[in-house]
Amino acid sequence: MTLTDYPTFSESPFFFDRRAASVPQQEEGVVRSHSNPRVAYYHPKEVGNYHYGERHPMRPHRMELTNQLVLGYKLHEKMSMHSPRKATEQELLEFHDNDYVDFLKRVTPKNAQNLTRDWTKFNVGDDCPIFHDLFSFCQQYSGATLAAARKLSSGNADIAINWSGGLHHAKKGEASGFCYVNDIVLGILELLRYHPRVLYIDIDIHHGDGVQEAFYLSNRVLTVSFHKYSADFFPGTGNLSEIGSDLGKYFSLNVPLQDGIDDESYISLFKAVMEPTITTFRPSAIVLQCGADSLGCDRLGTFNLSIAAHGECVRFIKSFDLPLLVLGGGGYRQSSVARCWAYETGVLAGMNLSNELPQNNYYEFFAPDYQLHPPLTGKIQNLNTRQSLERIRITIREKLRYLNGAPSVQMQEIPPDLMGFLNNEEQNQDEKLDDDSSLPDTRRESKLKDGDLLDRENSSSGDGLSNGPLGGARRRTIRV
Ligand SMILES: [Zn+2]
């Protein structure tokens, strides 16, 4: 591969020019944006009712708080609202092993004691407990991500949101880090049916290891993870040196950070990394995991980010006007998670939200300030030095030069399963909430109908996918 100068990097503002650094604002200052994006919001009705256990930090109930704020701010009037069906077992098997899915399906708190041999094999136990209706929980959040991905691929939405998804640690054959089914990998696979290249961005405080691992050998999915990296911090991976391998070499990027990073440093680095990544890789769709444990005051996280800064990352990615799948992830202070994701829903829907939280069923959770942007910063010493951040920026710039332009993908025929997409979309009408206040879902011609996807990236530059549009991709890239 030839080294060439990255063509637009010099146009990026110098990372440490503090005067030029963006300061998080609530709604203004978008460089480019979907002029009037059609936003689809997915909320599985019962996903907030599950319990990992009394002492477990993961609380699915945060989804209920989030949804209450979304409705309280009347954001449902700006989006189409969907209560998607559960993912089928077959859909989970698109990524996960048969015996693992079978285990998830069969295991209950009652019979778990008889399956102790499987506990080790499938890594369930303390972090990933067996709780009541676990499989149904997995099916719900995964079904929502799949429905959101299908919505984007059908061309019926510009942005699709599923805050219950984003469980980035789950592996092909085992649970990990509170995650059982990796809905992100499933969603990306769904997008790959249409899209030659998908960019995955992860701003959870933990390394997006499950997604990186799934696509480590692929040049059709570029993964970028911003996270805390240290030997004693879960999951212990995500060093700068992890770049992908085989065809996927240089298609994994990692931004390892230390405790206490502040708004300005994070946003500057985020933009300095993402702008050239997007311009170089030229994705046709983006998946953004918005884990909220990177916020200050999180129970597990140790960054100092404000909600406005976290949301600024979302706003920046939105500004590239590409089909965007937005997912949740970690986040262990329920009230902060709900505030953050409600705010980011507002960013995506293009709606200014009052700092005064609306009345809602869980109003007491937001005491004592009842505000959208309470102070969340300044609790942890910032161990990221200017030099360490600059080193990361330069190293990633070097890696991007190796990409040497975006790879092309041969798509010579329509994968058979694509033909059902439009039908699925029609069927999904019954998934819509009985909420007449949602905006009409203006439909447009499916991209499939004119077939423009079939040859728009036709090239023989060699991406290793000569066996077929997706079949080759799956066989070659999904290895964990
Ligand atoms: Zn996390």
72 domain residue, yes or no: yes
- 291-323 confidence digits (pLDDT tens): 999 999 999 999 999 999 999 999 999 999 999
Distance from the CA of 319 to the center of ligand 1, in angstroms?
A: 25
Residue 82 annotated among the catalytic residues of the structure: no
Cα–Cα distance measured from residue 307 to residue 296, given in angstroms and rounded to the nearest whole number: 9
pLDDT attached to residue 35: 65
Quick: pLDDT tens for 185-233: 999 999 999 999 999 999 999 999 999 999 999 999 999 999 999 999 9
Structure tokens, 11? 């146009």
Domain presence at residue 1: no
Q: What are phi and psi of 222, to 5 degrees?
A: -105, 125
Among candidate residues 34, 43, 76, 169, the one labeled active-site is 169
Q: Is 284 part of any domain?
A: yes
* Ligand 1 center–CA 144 separation, angstroms: 20
Q: How far apart are CA 462 and CA 452, in angstroms?
A: 21
Strand-pairing partners, residue 285, are 198
- The helix (H) or strand (E) run that includes residue 221 is strand 221-228
Distances (CA, A) of 336 to 197, 283, 364: 33, 31, 13
Has residue 3 been placed in a domain?
A: no
For ligand 1, the distance from its centroid to the CA atom of residue 340, given in whole angstroms, is 14
- CA 204 / ligand 1 centre spacing (Å): 5
Q: Domain residues for 224?
A: 9-477
The alpha carbon of residue 23 and the mean position of all alpha carbons in its chain are separated, in whole angstroms, by: 23
2 in a structural domain: no
Diameter of the chain by CA atoms?
62
Distance, CA 259 to ligand 1 centroid (Å)? 14
Which tokens sit at 313? Answer: 């990352």
Tell whether 4 is covered by a domain.
no
Residue 236 belongs to some domain of the structure: yes
* Residue 463 within any structural domain of the chain: yes
The number of distinct structural domains making up the chain is: 1
* Interval between CA 331 and ligand 1 midpoint (Å): 7
Phi and psi at 476, nearest 5°, equal -90, -30
> CA of 372: how far to CAs of 26, 262, 341, 344, 359, in Å?
11, 19, 10, 11, 12
Q: Kindly give the distance from the C-alpha atom of residue 235 to the centroid of ligand 1, in angstroms, as a whole number.
A: 9
Per-residue pLDDT of the chain (480 residues; tens, 9 = 90+): 333 333 222 222 222 222 233 334 333 333 445 568 999 999 999 999 999 999 999 999 999 999 999 999 999 999 999 999 999 999 999 999 999 999 999 999 999 888 888 889 999 998 999 999 999 999 999 999 999 999 999 999 999 999 999 999 999 999 999 999 999 999 999 999 999 999 999 999 999 999 999 999 999 999 999 999 999 999 999 999 999 999 999 999 999 999 999 999 999 999 999 999 999 999 999 999 999 999 999 999 999 999 999 999 999 999 999 999 999 999 999 999 999 999 999 999 999 999 999 999 999 999 999 999 999 876 799 999 999 999 999 999 999 998 865 565 544 333 444 434 444 444 444 444 333 333 333 322 222 222 222 222 333 333 322 222 222 232 223 322
The reported pLDDT for the residue numbered 135 is 98
How many C-beta atoms lie closer than 10 Å to residue 194's C-beta? 27
CATH number at residue 430: 3.40.800.20
